[in-house]
């Protein structure tokens, strides 16, 4: 006779709430994977349209301000306005893009 340890026989059938909990975990993991895929695809698309420049450059329309750096960032970098000659690293460009895409206020239709 083999040692089955703590294995129940016949096997216990999970109750309905346990099945729902298992389904919730599986769907949650699937949802997270799908969302990561689409977020990464969206970032790739933005990066391809914006292009990457690690040195600040003038606005093509005005030939001056606003100066742009990274993936189209025109705000400040470490509290300093983007200015001629400013340089950043690739990591900083990625961080600025993430910050630029982070919602800052109420979503459309939401009251502040």
Summarize pLDDT for 1-30 with one digit per residue, the tens.
556 667 666 677 778 778 788 887 878 788
Of residues 60 and 97, the one with the higher pLDDT is: 97
**What one-character DSSP code corresponds to residue 87?**
B
Locate 73 and state its tokens: 């960032």
- Residues 70 and 52: their CA atoms lie apart, in Å, by 5
Domain locations in the chain?
15-50, 51-102
pTM: 0.63
Distance CA 27, CA 53 (A): 39
Distance CA 11, CA 33 (A): 32
Task: Write out pLDDT tens, residues 69-107.
Answer: 999 999 999 999 999 999 999 999 999 999 998 877 776
Cis peptide bond prior to 10, omega within 30° of 0 = yes
pLDDT of residue 2: 56
Query: What is the reported pLDDT for 111?
Result: 67
Catalytically active residues, by annotation:
50, 59
């Amino acid at each position: 006779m083999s040692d089955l340890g703590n294995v129940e026989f016949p096997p216990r059938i999970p109750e309905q709430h346990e099945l729902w909990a298992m389904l919730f975990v599986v769907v949650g993991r699937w949802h997270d994977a799908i969302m990561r895929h689409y977020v990464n695809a969206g970032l790739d698309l933005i990066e391809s349209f914006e292009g990457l420049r690690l040195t600040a450059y003038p606005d093509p329309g005005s030939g001056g301000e606003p100066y742009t750096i990274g993936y189209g960032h025109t705000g400040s970098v470490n509290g300093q306005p983007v200015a001629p000659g400013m340089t950043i690293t690739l990591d900083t460009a990625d961080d600025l893009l993430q910050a630029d895409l982070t919602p800052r206020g109420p979503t459309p239709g939401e009251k502040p």
